[in-house]
Protein backbone atom coordinates (compact mmCIF):
# COMPACT_ATOMS: atom_id res chain seq x y z
CA UNK A 1 0.00 0.00 0.00
CA UNK A 2 1.17 3.57 -0.66
CA UNK A 3 3.37 4.86 2.12
CA UNK A 4 4.02 1.42 3.64
CA UNK A 5 7.62 0.29 4.35
CA UNK A 6 9.23 -1.75 1.56
CA UNK A 7 11.47 -4.70 2.47
CA UNK A 8 13.91 -4.00 -0.36
CA UNK A 9 14.27 -0.24 0.28
CA UNK A 10 17.51 1.10 1.75
CA UNK A 11 15.91 4.25 3.20
CA UNK A 12 13.05 2.28 4.79
CA UNK A 13 15.81 0.23 6.46
CA UNK A 14 17.46 3.43 7.72
CA UNK A 15 14.09 4.59 9.11
CA UNK A 16 13.70 1.20 10.83
CA UNK A 17 17.23 1.40 12.30
CA UNK A 18 18.31 -1.70 10.36
CA UNK A 19 20.99 0.24 8.45
CA UNK A 20 23.07 2.81 10.36
CA UNK A 21 23.09 6.49 9.37
CA UNK A 22 24.39 9.72 10.81
CA UNK A 23 21.10 11.34 11.72
CA UNK A 24 21.17 15.13 12.12
CA UNK A 25 17.46 15.82 12.59
CA UNK A 26 14.31 13.85 13.16
CA UNK A 27 10.64 14.82 13.28
CA UNK A 28 7.55 12.70 13.72
CA UNK A 29 7.29 12.31 9.94
CA UNK A 30 10.81 12.89 8.58
CA UNK A 31 14.44 11.93 9.03
CA UNK A 32 17.56 13.86 7.96
CA UNK A 33 20.96 12.15 7.74
CA UNK A 34 24.35 12.72 6.11
CA UNK A 35 24.86 11.39 2.60
CA UNK A 36 27.39 8.55 2.57
CA UNK A 37 29.09 10.01 -0.55
CA UNK A 38 28.95 13.79 -0.03
CA UNK A 39 29.06 16.05 -3.10
CA UNK A 40 29.56 19.22 -1.03
CA UNK A 41 30.92 20.07 2.45
CA UNK A 42 27.32 19.78 3.67
CA UNK A 43 25.29 17.08 1.95
CA UNK A 44 22.28 15.89 3.90
CA UNK A 45 19.32 13.80 2.78
CA UNK A 46 15.85 14.59 4.11
CA UNK A 47 13.30 11.81 3.71
CA UNK A 48 9.71 11.17 4.68
CA UNK A 49 9.56 8.16 7.02
CA UNK A 50 6.77 6.80 4.81
CA UNK A 51 7.80 5.15 1.55
CA UNK A 52 7.01 6.89 -1.75
CA UNK A 53 9.07 6.24 -4.87
CA UNK A 54 9.82 9.90 -5.60
CA UNK A 55 8.94 13.46 -4.64
CA UNK A 56 6.04 13.78 -7.09
CA UNK A 57 4.40 10.56 -5.85
CA UNK A 58 4.85 11.81 -2.28
CA UNK A 59 3.31 15.22 -3.04
CA UNK A 60 0.38 13.62 -4.90
CA UNK A 61 -0.41 11.22 -2.05
CA UNK A 62 0.47 13.31 1.00
CA UNK A 63 1.01 17.00 0.24
CA UNK A 64 1.43 17.90 3.92
CA UNK A 65 4.23 15.34 4.21
CA UNK A 66 5.94 16.76 1.11
CA UNK A 67 5.78 20.16 2.81
CA UNK A 68 7.32 18.62 5.96
CA UNK A 69 10.30 17.43 3.88
CA UNK A 70 10.85 20.85 2.31
CA UNK A 71 10.49 22.63 5.66
CA UNK A 72 12.93 20.19 7.31
CA UNK A 73 15.40 20.83 4.47
CA UNK A 74 15.30 24.50 5.44
CA UNK A 75 15.74 23.64 9.12
CA UNK A 76 18.76 21.49 8.29
CA UNK A 77 20.30 24.34 6.28
CA UNK A 78 19.76 26.69 9.22
CA UNK A 79 21.34 24.22 11.68
CA UNK A 80 24.31 23.82 9.34
CA UNK A 81 24.53 27.64 9.09
CA UNK A 82 24.28 27.57 5.31
CA UNK A 83 23.71 31.05 3.86
CA UNK A 84 22.94 29.51 0.47
CA UNK A 85 22.11 25.96 -0.36
CA UNK A 86 20.47 23.82 -3.00
CA UNK A 87 17.56 21.44 -2.48
CA UNK A 88 17.46 18.72 -5.15
CA UNK A 89 14.96 15.97 -5.91
CA UNK A 90 16.42 13.64 -8.54
CA UNK A 91 13.50 11.91 -10.21
CA UNK A 92 14.08 8.89 -12.44
CA UNK A 93 17.25 6.96 -13.23
CA UNK A 94 18.11 9.30 -16.13
CA UNK A 95 18.31 12.19 -13.67
CA UNK A 96 20.53 10.24 -11.28
CA UNK A 97 17.92 8.80 -8.91
CA UNK A 98 19.39 5.61 -7.43
CA UNK A 99 17.27 5.18 -4.30
CA UNK A 100 13.56 5.01 -5.05
CA UNK A 101 12.35 6.36 -1.72
CA UNK A 102 11.63 10.10 -1.98
CA UNK A 103 14.46 12.27 -0.65
CA UNK A 104 15.64 15.85 -0.80
CA UNK A 105 19.36 16.47 -1.12
CA UNK A 106 20.47 19.55 0.83
CA UNK A 107 23.80 20.72 -0.60
CA UNK A 108 25.86 23.64 0.61
CA UNK A 109 29.11 24.93 2.02
CA UNK A 110 30.67 25.65 -1.37
CA UNK A 111 29.81 27.67 -4.45
CA UNK A 112 27.11 25.96 -6.52
CA UNK A 113 26.96 26.60 -10.24
CA UNK A 114 23.81 27.28 -12.20
CA UNK A 115 22.81 25.68 -14.52
CA UNK A 116 23.98 22.50 -12.76
CA UNK A 117 24.68 20.44 -15.88
P1 LIG B 1 19.81 9.72 -5.55
O2 LIG B 1 20.99 9.34 -6.40
O3 LIG B 1 18.77 8.61 -5.55
O4 LIG B 1 19.21 11.06 -5.83
O5 LIG B 1 20.36 9.85 -4.07
C6 LIG B 1 20.66 8.75 -3.27
C7 LIG B 1 21.76 9.19 -2.35
O8 LIG B 1 21.85 8.23 -1.30
C9 LIG B 1 23.13 9.28 -3.00
O10 LIG B 1 23.62 10.61 -2.89
C11 LIG B 1 23.98 8.28 -2.22
O12 LIG B 1 25.29 8.73 -1.98
C13 LIG B 1 23.20 8.13 -0.92
N14 LIG B 1 23.35 6.83 -0.28
C15 LIG B 1 23.37 5.62 -0.91
N16 LIG B 1 23.50 4.64 0.00
C17 LIG B 1 23.55 5.25 1.23
C18 LIG B 1 23.69 4.75 2.57
O19 LIG B 1 23.75 3.55 2.83
N20 LIG B 1 23.73 5.69 3.56
C21 LIG B 1 23.64 7.03 3.31
N22 LIG B 1 23.71 7.84 4.36
N23 LIG B 1 23.52 7.53 2.06
C24 LIG B 1 23.47 6.65 1.03
ZN1 LIG C 1 11.46 3.19 1.36
Closest CA to 73 of 98, 107, 102: 107
- pTM beyond cutoff 0.95: yes
Residue 104 has pLDDT above 80, yes or no: yes
Catalytic residue among 43, 51, 101, 103: 103
Q: Which atom of ligand 1 is nearest to the CA of 10?
A: 19
Predicted local distance difference test score (pLDDT) of residue 25: 98
Domains along the sequence of the chain with CATH: 10-108 (3.30.428.10)
Closest CA to 107 of 71, 79, 72, 82: 82
CB neighbour class for 27 (10 Å; exposed up to 12, middle 13-18, buried from 19): middle
Q: Which ligand is nearest to the CA of 36?
A: 1
Q: What sign has the CA pseudo-torsion 105, 22, 3, 61?
A: negative
Ligand 1 atom 21: residue of nearest CA: 36
Mean pLDDT of all residues belonging to the chain: 97
Q: What does the alpha-carbon distance between residue 78 and residue 85 come to, in Å, rounded to a whole number?
A: 10
Per residue in 44-71, pLDDT (tens digit) is: 999 999 999 999 999 999 999 999 999 9
**80 Cβ closer than 6 Å to some ligand 1 atom:** no
Q: Which atom of ligand 1 is nearest to the CA of 21?
A: 22
Active site residue 43: no
Which residues 6+ apart lie within 8 Å of 110 measured at CB?
Answer: 40, 41
Ligand 1 atom 18: residue of nearest CA: 36
Edge-to-edge strand ranges of the sheet holding 104-108: 23-26, 30-34, 42-48, 104-108, 85-88
Amino acid sequence: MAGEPQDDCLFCKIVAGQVPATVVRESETTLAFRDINPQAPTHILVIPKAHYRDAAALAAAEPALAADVVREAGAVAEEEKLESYRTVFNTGAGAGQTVFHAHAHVLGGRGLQWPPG
